[in-house]
Amino acid sequence: MAALEKLALTDRENVTPLIEFIMPAPTLDKKDRNVVKTPKEKFLETLPDIAEDLKKSCGQFPTFVDVHLLESDVRASSFKQILDSSAHLDLFSIPVTYIIPVTSTNADMETRSVAVDFAKSNGHGLCIRIDKSHFGEKDIASHIMSFVESNGLSISNTDLLVDLRVIDQDTSIEAVRDQLARLPNLSEWRSFIVSGGVFPKDLTGFASGAVHELPRYDWKLWNDLRMTQLSRKPIFSDYTILHPFYEYVPAIGSASVRYTDEDKYWIFRGKKPGVINRKTNVKGPGSEQYIDHARTLVKRSFYKGDGYSFGDSEISRIAADGNKKPGNPGKWLEIAINHHLTLAARQTASLVGNIAERVARAASEVRVRAN
């Protein structure tokens, strides 16, 4: 969540993040690689500190919280502890943390009840997440409204988030428009959000040692939707520079950099650090590749300058002559997401006048894993 915490205040006001909690990687013995601490054990150890971490990163601004990626046997209880702890902190601090639980109409009953009960008692409302599978239902409108009414919710205090997940060059604006038109009472929801992402699950499709372009199909789709005859224009949301489907990958990937531009992403593709060539027995490049990427990036016309965002200032610092600290994958993820959130916030703010209708999701997701 460091990328979110380091946003400039004026940009943070134009961003409503959705925090997805995920299970951490297991702790392995360095010698025999056996598991010494399971993901569940590690997550439960960090659970008491999550509310404080949310407050530090999110402050008084609205923040969506989702636990659907947690293991099923700890999902509901963890959700309740996170929400209750956040509410408890609010009693002793000003400004308060504005937490909005996220659930789906097909979530398990226990997790759904935790979200609904908190939304009604806290007064901050609820976010309902709809994905592509819901559009296979013949009467999706009745299904959604039945969920709202059976749980005693107010539609005017409920956000409707449509998560299209993967958006690519084959995504049809007409098909998406027609699907969205089937949703009930679009003008009455507190907010109407359409989300998706374009990044693949890994960068193996991009040749190493080169700079590649990836169109921002999600941004194009949102702009096209704004021009259609929907009864309400959706709020923009995306998965920043991450793949929409979370998948734990234990191996260290390539030393690559992702950088968001107005209508495309730039991918500076590196190699996996320290790999030894079996034929020559020569060790390949290491983490210093990040310094090379940074120095190449700052010379490109699309680089925004070190004063644009925290992420951009870090790129400039790493690219500076004499610097020998390249950073690591986690640092470069923070840099890329912070820059992306800054750019997305300013893009949407320039197109939409009402601050209540400016939302870019970190996502988007901002995925939080215990160390």
Domain-located, residue 335: no
Question: Quick count: other Cβ atoms within 10 Å of Cβ 107?
Answer: 21
Residue 301 lies in a domain: no
* Predicted pLDDT of residue 79: 96
Q: How many structural domains comprise the chain?
A: 1
127 within some domain: yes
The predicted pLDDT at position 250 comes to: 64
Reported residue count of the chain is 371
Asked whether residue 233 is assigned to any structural domain, the reply reads yes
Q: Residue 312: inside a domain, yes or no?
A: no
> pLDDT value at position 97?
63
Domain-embedded: residue 285: no
Q: Is residue 281 part of a domain?
A: no
0.85 exceeded by the pTM?
yes
Residue-number span of the structural domain to which 166 is assigned: 2-203+214-251+340-368
Q: Is residue 133 part of a domain?
A: yes
pLDDT per residue rounded down to tens, the chain (371 residues): 788 889 998 998 888 999 999 998 888 877 777 878 899 999 999 999 988 888 888 777 889 999 999 999 999 999 999 999 988 776 555 555 689 999 999 899 999 999 999 999 988 899 999 998 898 888 999 999 999 999 999 999 999 999 999 999 999 999 999 999 999 999 999 999 999 999 999 999 999 999 999 999 999 999 999 999 899 999 999 999 999 988 776 666 899 999 999 999 999 999 999 887 777 877 889 999 999 999 999 999 999 999 999 999 999 999 999 999 999 999 999 999 999 999 999 999 888 754 334 344 333 444 444 33
Residue pLDDT, tens place only, 213-258: 999 999 999 999 999 989 999 999 999 999 998 877 666 689 999 9
Q: What is the CATH number of the domain that holds 62?
A: 3.20.20
pLDDT for 56: 81
